[in-house]
Amino acid sequence: MQFGVSTFVWFSPFDTKALDLVYKVKDMGYDILEVAVEDKDLIDWAKLKQVVRDAGIKVTISGAFGAERDISSDDPRNREQGLQYITDCVRIAADMGSPVFGGPVYSAVGKTRIVSAEQKQQEREWCLENLVKAGKIARECGVTIGVEPLNRFETDMINTADQAISLVKEVGDPNVKILLDTFHCNIEEKNIPDTIRKVGKDLLCHIQGNESDRGTPGTGHLDWAGINDALVEIGYDGAIVLETFGAPSKELARAACIWRPLANSADELASEGLKFYKQQFSGSSQTAAK
């Protein structure tokens, strides 16, 4: 099992001035730095690629979706910008060697409303139309798009694994799969291990292993042993990435409802989180291979 940590733990947005984070994450013992792309133009990607290569660490790419990047929006400009953003991130992922680009690609974070069934259906159709286009680009780039269900307080569109499975199957592209975040699952799913089994190896492309309160893994009430057992059972061979928010921007804090520090420090959260990961998931890949 490979372990990663998101740039969100320290920075929002991440930019070229923060490239020393690559070495910090490597020194902590992580295998992967997950780069959250809030603004692609803030990052010198060629320089980051060189630093990552020098440090001997891998990269995965995740997205940040505001109203102007909503592929299910009733504003065609937002839908167009959303598809362009996904396209840009998929191409960045391919260039950086990331097998996945993940996030709530279907809508804007913080978009929570009660709307008519007709409007819901129309938004779904816009979403599907754009995800089909995005899937084609992902196939050409050799990258998998991970559709991430969010909890009910952050989206009204895809809250559960069942909803994600339905959407992904309707898209019908082998390069559009599912990303599970255990924080969101803790709110929306009856049983996280059973949810992992339901999604299964064929559809599960990425895991963000976050605690019940988005704090340090192992300090909350998640069934980590059960999560490990389910991942072993399905033969999951992807990464587990810690994604929480140490210093969120005002926009991100509002969208994700982050109003207080989630740990004593970002460094402590990341280092203690990795220590827990290694204790909890030690030998998972070897066990799964038997």
| CATH number of the CATH domain containing 128 | 3.20.20.150
Give residue 256's pLDDT band: very low, low, confident or very high (50, 70, 90).
confident
Token couple for 221:
């009430």
Answer whether residue 48 shows pLDDT above 80: yes
Q: Which residues pair with 178 in a beta bridge?
A: 147, 204
Answer whether residue 42 shows pLDDT above 90: yes
Residue (of 192, 246, 189) closest to 12 by Cα position: 246
Task: State the pLDDT at residue 289.
Answer: 37
CA distance 34 to 223: 24
Residue (of 242, 243, 235) closest to 284 by Cα position: 235
Measured in whole angstroms, the distance separating CA 197 from the mean position of its chain's CA atoms is 19
**Residue 189 annotated in active site:** no
Answer whether residue 166 shows pLDDT above 90: yes
Write down the catalytic residue from 34, 38, 148, 189.
148
Token couple for 53:
């290569």
Token couple for 51:
């630093």
For residue 90, count other CB atoms closer than 10 A to its CB: 27
Give CA angle at 248 (179, 82), nearest 5°: 50
Report the pLDDT averaged over residues 24-47.
Answer: 98
**Residue 243 annotated in active site:** yes
pTM of the model: 0.95
Write down the catalytic residue from 34, 38, 123, 243.
243
- The DSSP code for 155 is B
Range with the lowest mean pLDDT among 64-73, 182-191, 262-271? 262-271
Report the pLDDT averaged over residues 62-82.
Answer: 97
Helices (H), the chain: 21-28, 45-55, 76-96, 117-141, 161-171, 182-188, 192-203, 224-234, 250-256, 266-280, 284-289
Q: How far is CA 88 from CA 37, 41, 70, 143, 240, in A?
A: 10, 11, 15, 12, 24
Q: Domain containing 31: what range?
A: 2-289
Domain count, the chain: 1
Report the pLDDT averaged over residues 233-246.
Answer: 94
Residue (of 141, 69, 136) closest to 98 by Cα position: 141
Give residue 288's pLDDT band: very low, low, confident or very high (50, 70, 90).
very low
